[in-house]
Structure formats: structure tokens, C-alpha cells
Amino acid sequence: MGGVSMKRYDFSSIEVKWQKLWEENKIFEVKTDPSKPKYYVLEMFPYPSGRIHMGHVRNYTLGDILARVKRMKSYNVLHPMGWDAFGLPAENAALKHGIHPAKWTYSNIDYMRAQLKKLGFSYDWSREFATCDSDYYKHEQRFFIEMYEKGLAYRKKTLVNWCPSCHTVLANEQVEDGTCWRCGTEVTFREMEGWFLKITAYAEELLEDLEKLKGHWPEKVIIMQKNWIGKSEGAEIKFPIPEIGEDLIVYTTRPDTLFGATFVCMSPEHPLAEKITEKKGLTEGLRTLIEKVRKEKRDIEAGLAKKEGLFLQTYAIHPLTGEKLPLFAANFVLMEYGTGAIMCVPAHDQRDFEFAKKYNLPIKVVITPKDKKLNLEEMNSAYEEPGIMINSDIFTGLDSEEGKRKVTFYLEEKGLGKRKVTYRLRDWGISRQRYWGCPIPMIYCEKCGVVPEKLENLPVVLPLNVQIDSSGRSPLPNYSEFVNTTCPKCGSPAKRETDTFDTFMESSWYFARFACPKFPEPFNREDIKYWLPVDQYIGGIEHAILHLLYARFFTKVLRDLGYFDLDEPFSNLLTQGMVIKETYKCPVHGWLYPEEVSSEGKCLKEGCGKEVVVGKFEKMSKSKCNVVDPDEMINKYGADTVRLFIAFAAPPERDLEWSNHGIEGAFRFLKRLFNLITTHAENLREISYIEEELKSLPKNLLKLRRKLHQTIKKVSEDLETRLHFNTAIAAIMEFLNLLEDTLKEVSVEDEKVKKVLKECFEKVLLLISPICPHISEELWEEIGHKSFISLEAFPKYDPELIKEDTFILVIQVNGKVRDQVEVSVELSKDEIVKIAKERPKIIKYLEGKTLKNVVFVPKKLINFVVS
RNA sequence: GCCGGGGUGGCGGAAUUGGCAGACGCGCUGGAUUCAGGAUCCAGUGGGAGUUAAUCCCGUGCGGGUUCAAAUCCCGCCCCCGGCACCA
């Protein structure tokens, strides 16, 4: 084969050429146009950390394929990109290299934008923004003020991570194993005032609306959010404490076990605990317990801490029996959940059981399994299952589930308690004692108290001309030009809030801003109405809870603030798997780069020679020496090959094992495609066809066309609906294999062959163009087109043509495949039975047997059941 | 502990509705080409038995079941991955 003039697949110049043409012709820029159906594809925007990694490449490749497919299916496609640009790493870089966070961030953005462009993603770059632009965050400040005015933002004391040696607040990611990431000092907790958003006010709606997302979001994410919101139904019950003349309200989900309560516990931080200990002279004991709880907060949360309590030398009265129940402050009771106090039923709650054993408290069985009796002496754990109520006065004999309702109802009637729904979800603490974030637009005035900045004074701009010192502390509190201001209400001197927003704030509404990134107000109704919601959102599973929950919350808040008419931001969600790679570990030198391992699997570091352990596939990370640099791959194989491999190696939601051999295979396929088409391109350039004239063809050409149209159908479904790009690519490869085989049997000088070949080339290029756009554009031009393939229509299949006139009939005897034969689809069951019975192989199996049944599956198989 | 997801050749993965298990790719083997290597092309490739042919048997984590028919449905178990975890 191979004409003398065969072109080499020079991916690098091809890719540069088309990227430039796309950009010059602005072909991916879109406008609101209600006359066309819209499709909004969004990938989670990146933090500008310096360079993109393979995880980004995968995320954005998946999104780009879909965006390109939808565009070819004649949707008006919004596919934007921007930068989640505030955050801690910028401050860390400032500390380490002395670069200002702003400079570091913007130069990273420039570098990463260039990297994304090299991958040929079809973004509308005219909509790009970075969240650290004041043009972006000024709107966020406005939202915050409006939330404050609606009572959705408030201040309260909160525990923060505190390094006593650096005198600074630490973000969670700066705490490593309970110690400070910089100095290694043990981190403590400290109470500080902070701002909160009342996400709990939306708990019920956030939970309910998950129903709407079923089938469109991964089940897993919905369940994770459900658990996070953690709705539970139970009762609040009053336990009077006669000594102080107050009632302790406890929360329980098991009112059916009320008669089994033998003691009562409250959190050491409960206000009544303080009151009682003061009265009883136990303040010292309580303080020690509180300190211990703070110190062991991490262990307590991990369930490692031993149960511990302080007897308050006081008793609470059981609301129904009038019994005196001892009162404790206990380390395992959380102040943040329920009422901060619980009734303890050791027989039916494992935690209470452990506590009762430790402090020798009575255990009283009030629920018994249906089939056996519980024996108190033999119990070494609590019985937490439902059952029949016993020892429960008028409720004895009831099923415990029914008992829950009856007891609660009884308490309500007597005014001793009430039904209560509780959520695990806590309000969202958004204050960060950091510099590189959006300033919280609030002012503290000695006369007026907390006052929001006037809307017309927004943005409160984050000052850039500050000195970042080595302490790691935010420079804002010491920057008097920023801090000192005047009260918007009374005009007297006042101080600004110096905390900044949690960076999850910026990512909670960016998807909406992409609809109108330049609009002076936060949103342009017309654009929002047209583009939102996001039709397909794509990103990592690591954001299953926080980001996605906050974005849903913001959407509902912005709706209630009147900005738009939308309940949920993301109609469909795809969570893609990680990119993982094999690791190598030397017993002496630790993690090794692949080039530090000899072909015999020995460590090459410092002439070590030790046997290297070939480790598991793990998420790519620098520390494990298993990263693959996207730039390196693009330089070696080109963007199209990288995109092809990434889409082919695994279905999107599964982890993708990076393989150097695998990417070679993808490269080989593109070279084959390139060679095949360039070889015939000149011959076909002037050829045109109408599908009508391709109806009567020799058998092999008909078979080829049929396969082509079957491939169009499959690829179309896989790319657009199933989002299984791997099987779409497999189908294209399969077709190309048949095409090459068929070419060996025909003459390319034949006019009919030329026409069929032209059709095959055109349609294959169209099919693969969303995945490998550059090579497709190049070959599209090569076979005689002047248009951008990126803007062409996705091919349609001919439904008549894909119908097979024969099929392979599988013949089974007793469920085992014994023979197969190609038969016409026209044949009736009887005719098929006749044919099958006459097959020599089948005769052998049927001889001398009684035929008991014949199972016939049209167009598939026939099964003879014999005795 | 609780809740999810998964386990298919040497490897990544197909099998969309219970109907030929292993599509497609990688790797491997043999051959062609080449001084050689690489690249490329052709053929083969789940395991076992078999006169290397016909053919037969086994085979989707393990054990059972439903069915004419099970990777797919049901019951029990094992292992791996992820999330949550004193939330009363």
C-alpha cells in the first residue's frame, strides 16, 4: 500500500492549526437565543494550583466530548470555563517563595489556560472569569448582605483549630494528625466568633428535592447527601429537675423505651450543667471535663475515647413514673445535636449500656424480641432492635414501632413532650481567618453594633498591596487602611470584619454567573432563564457532599432572594472516577519513579539493588511518584491521542488505570485512521453521493454500509445518552476493521466503491470528531470539505438499512449450544424448527430422545428440551 | 458497626431487556518486511482433553436455588473499594 506522497501524521502542527482557526473564527462562542434548544455542559472549574493534572484532563475531556456531540446535534451549547481562584495554597506559595498570592494565582491561570487550549476543548473563552476578580466577588458580598437581612446569616461562637505556637488559626487541611503542619505543635481548639449561613433552614427542602434528582444523579451521591442531612424523627421530652426548678429537655428517637430510662446525661457544655455545678461546687470537675472533651475532640469523634461522665449530685424526675434519675454531664453527649441532653436507656442503647456498666447504674429491660426473652444477667450488649414493649405501664404489650407513636402522643396530651424532627446537618461556618479570600462585607460600629456595608459601596475590595509575613497570619487585621472605616449607619469611626469567606462560597453560584459573566448586576434574567439549569455537570466524587450541597443551598436561597426561578442547579450529574497508576516501592528508598526501577524490578537509587515492590494502582500523586504529566503526553502523542485514550480506557464513572501501552494503542489507531484516509483522500475529494443511489450494491459493500449505519446508531446512543464513550470508540474501531478488510476485496477505481468509501470516511470522521477533533478537522478538509467539522451535524442512520435480512440462529439442546446457522429473518418458527432439526449435529443429539419442549426466541435462538 | 459500589482471560474492559460470555484495545506467540532494532503488516490467543482434526468438558469471587436458559434474578457466605461513624 502507501502512495508515494503519503503524509505523515504530524499531530503537533495539525493541532496548532485547528486551535488557531477555532479561536480566530470564535466558533464556540454562544449567545442566548430562545429560538434554539439550549444545552449547558459544565465541568467543575479548577483551582489554579499551577498546572493541570490527569484528573482535570479526564474531567474536561468527558465534558468536551459531550459538548461537541450536543453541538453537532444542533443544540445551542454553553460550555464555559473559569477559575476557583481564592484559597490557601496561594498563601502557602507566598510564604514559601515570596510571591504575592494574586501574582501567583494569575500567572498560574495563564499557564493552565494555555494547557487547556492545547487540549482543544471547545470552551466559550469569552465567558472566562476568576473568582478572585472583584467583579465576581462583589456580587457574592451582596448576596451575603441580603442573606444577613433575611436572617440567613448570623454570628456565633465556634471552635476553630488553633496552633498555640504559631498563634494562628489553622484550616482543617493544615492540621496533620492533630498537629500543626508547619511547626508540629499539637493543635488545640479555641472559641472564636464567626459567621454562619443558616443552611439548616433549608434542610427539609434539600432532602426532599433529592427525590427530583433520582435517576439523574448517581444514587451514591444522593445517599451521601441524605445521610449528611441526617433527618431523624423522635420526641423532645421534659425531665424536671426540682432542685433548680427547671426542666431538662432531652431528644430521643426511641420514646418507646422511655420506661427503661434509668439516668439522664447532658453535654458538659450544656447551660444547665454550668448552673448545677455552680450550685453544687463542682465547677472544677466540669471545667476539667470540658477541657478534656476539647482536647480529645478528635478521639471522641473517631469513637476512640472512653465514655466518661461527671455525676452532678442532682436528680431529674422521670415524667411518667416519677422516679428520681441521676443526672450526669457526659463526654459522649454532643451539644450541637438535638437538645444537647439525652435520656439514657442502657438496656436498649449500646452507648448508654457502656456508661451504665462503668458507673454501676441500673439497667431496665422494656423491649423484648418477639421470639425469646431477654435475660438481664446474660446481656453483654444493649438490645437495640424493635420488639414488644414490657414493663411499660399502659403501653406494655405494644409493638415498639407503634409504641413510639403512642408514647409520644400521650406525652403531647399531658404537655410533657412533643414530636420533633432533628437534622444532623449543621449551619455552615463560612468565616476563615485567612487573607486570600473574599472579604466579608460587615462593619463593627461601637454605637450601632454589626452593620452591613452599603450595597452601593461594594465591592469591599481585598487590598493587594499588603505584606505577607512568615507567621502565616492574615495581614488584614493589621492593615489599618482596610480595617478602619466609618459606620454606614451613623458615620462614626468603625472597624471592618477582617475574616474572609470560605472558598466554597465562590463555587456555590459560579455556574449561574457563566450565563452572563459580564452583566453589571449579578444576573441577567433573560440569560439565566435560557441557560439554567446546568444540563450536565461533571466532576469528581470528592465533592459529593460539600460543594454540591452548598450549590444546591445557594440556588434555593438565590431563588428566595428573587434572583431566579430555579430549585435545583444541576439536572444531571456525572461523577468521574480517579486517574490511577501503578506504584513502585523500595524497602530502603520508599516510593520510586518508574525510571528508578530496573527491568528486573530492582531499585536503581544509589546502587541499592533491593527488590522493588510493585504496588497497587493508586491515585496519582507526587508523593507516590506515580504522576503522569499531561504536557509530556501531549508533546509525545498529541491532544487527540490523549483524549482518545482517556475516553477509551474505562467508562467515565470508574477509576481509570493509566497505561503507557494503552496510550500507544490509541496513538496507533489514529495513525491508522490518518494513513487510511490520506491514502485515498485525493481520489475521493471530488466525489459526492446521494444515499438513494447507494441502495443496490454488491454484498460486501452493502454489508459495509449496513455496519456503518449500525455504528452510527450505537455511537450516537453511547455518546449522547449513555455517556459510555469507551464502547462508542470500540464500535468505531470495529467499523474501521471491517472497512480495511473490505478495501482488500474491492477496486478503489470503481465509482460505486468511491461513493461508498466517501460516505464511510465522512461519517467515521463525524463520529469520532467529538473525541478527536483536530485530526477530524484535518481529514475532513483533506477529503474535500471547506467547513469546520466541529459545526457539522452529527450523522443520522438509515433505519431501513440497519435491518439485517439474516441472523445467526443459535441451536441449543437442553440449553447447550450445539450448532449455529445463518438463516433469513423472514422464516417462521415452524420453518426454523424444521431447519434446526435437520442439522446433522442436532440429529445426533435428538436421536432416540423424547422431545419435551421447544423454546424459540425470535432472531436469537432455538432450544430443544429433550429427556 | 451502618450505608453504598464492585469481584468477568495475563491486563483495561464488553455483554443496554434473563438468550452464543470474553466485543474493542493492550500484552503475548508465530510469520512477513529489516543488516539489526524499531515501526508496520498478516495469523493466532479463556482453561483443559483430544490423533492438534472433528469434537467434547470446564469456565463470570464461593456455596445453594429459580428457569428450557443465569455474569445478569433469589438466598447464604468470602474478599476488595468508597462514604459515614458516640447524631441519642
> What pLDDT digit, counting tens, does each position of A706-733 carry?
999 999 999 999 999 999 999 999 999 9
Which phi and psi angles does A379 have, rounded to 5°?
-75, 125
| Through-space separation of residue A817 CA and nucleotide B58 C1' in angstroms | 15
Q: Angle at CA A555, nearest 5°, toward A127 and A198?
A: 130
d(C-alpha A603, C-alpha A593), whole Å: 10
Residue of A478, A513, A514 lying closest to A498 (CA atoms): A478
What is the model's pLDDT at position A173? 65
What is the model's pLDDT at position A840? 83
Q: Which one-letter DSSP state was computed for residue A633?
A: H
Q: Angle at CA A224, nearest 5°, toward A218 and A228?
A: 150
Residue A716 CB lies within 7 Å of the nucleic strand B: no
Residue of A273, A375, A862, A791 lying closest to A780 (CA atoms): A791
Residue A669 CB lies within 7 Å of the nucleic strand B: yes
A644-698 per-position pLDDT tens digit: 999 999 999 988 988 888 999 999 999 999 999 999 998 899 999 988 888 888 8
Q: Angle at CA A591, nearest 5°, toward A590 and A596?
A: 105
Q: Is the peptide bond before A362 cis (omega within 30 degrees of 0)?
A: no
A577 nearest nt, CA–C1': B82
What is the model's pLDDT at position A298? 64
Whether residue A494 contacts residue A531, with contact meaning beta carbons closer than 8 Å, is answered with no
d(C-alpha A517, C-alpha A83), whole Å: 13
Residue A650 CB lies within 7 Å of the nucleic strand B: yes
Whether residue A746 contacts residue A700, with contact meaning beta carbons closer than 8 Å, is answered with yes
d(C-alpha A29, C-alpha A76), whole Å: 10
Which phi and psi angles does A107 have, rounded to 5°?
-75, -30
Concatenate the DSSP letters of all residues of A2-21 into one string: --TTPPP--HHHHHHHHHHH
What is the model's pLDDT at position A299? 66
Residue A306 CB lies within 7 Å of the nucleic strand B: yes
| Through-space separation of residue A300 CA and nucleotide B83 C1' in angstroms | 19
Confidence check on the interface: ipTM exceeds 0.90, yes or no: yes
Whether residue A277 contacts residue A365, with contact meaning beta carbons closer than 8 Å, is answered with no
Neighbouring CB atoms inside 10 A of A781's CB total: 16
Closest protein CA to C1' of nucleotide B41, residue? A1
What is the model's pLDDT at position A3? 37
Residue A521 CB lies within 7 Å of the nucleic strand B: no
Q: Which nucleotides of strand B come closer than 7 angstroms to any CB of the protein? A: 3-5, 11-16, 19-21, 23-27, 39-42, 55-57, 68-70, 82-88
Task: Mark the ranges of chain A whose per-residue pLDDT is less than 50.
Answer: 1-5
| Through-space separation of residue A843 CA and nucleotide B54 C1' in angstroms | 17
A305 nearest nt, CA–C1': B86
- State how beta strands A806-813 and A861-866 pair: parallel
Residue A6 CB lies within 7 Å of the nucleic strand B: no
E strands in A164-231: 168-170, 175-176, 179-180, 188-197
Residue of A571, A566, A526 lying closest to A41 (CA atoms): A571
Residue A808 CB lies within 7 Å of the nucleic strand B: yes
Residue A331 CB lies within 7 Å of the nucleic strand B: yes
d(C-alpha A257, C-alpha A344), whole Å: 9
| Through-space separation of residue A459 CA and nucleotide B17 C1' in angstroms | 58
Residue A21 CB lies within 7 Å of the nucleic strand B: no
Residue A820 CB lies within 7 Å of the nucleic strand B: yes
Ramachandran sector of residue A198 (left: φ over 0; alpha: ψ -120 to 50; beta: rest): beta
Residue A621 CB lies within 7 Å of the nucleic strand B: no
A817-851 per-position pLDDT tens digit: 888 888 888 888 888 888 888 888 888 888 878 88
Concatenate the DSSP letters of all residues of A222-285 into one string: HHHHHHHH--EEEEEEEEEETTTTEEEEEEES-GGGGGG--EEEE-TTSHHHHHHHHHHT-HHH
d(C-alpha A604, C-alpha A486), whole Å: 66
A819 nearest nt, CA–C1': B20
d(C-alpha A106, C-alpha A85), whole Å: 9
| Through-space separation of residue A845 CA and nucleotide B47 C1' in angstroms | 26
What is the model's pLDDT at position A2? 35
Residue of A510, A573, A575, A550 lying closest to A229 (CA atoms): A550
> Residue A776 belongs to what H/E stretch?
helix A773-782
Whether residue A711 contacts residue A728, with contact meaning beta carbons closer than 8 Å, is answered with no
Closest protein CA to C1' of nucleotide B13, residue? A650
Residue identified by cell 443496490 is A696
In chain A, positions 758-777 with C-beta closer than 7 Å to nucleic chain B are: none
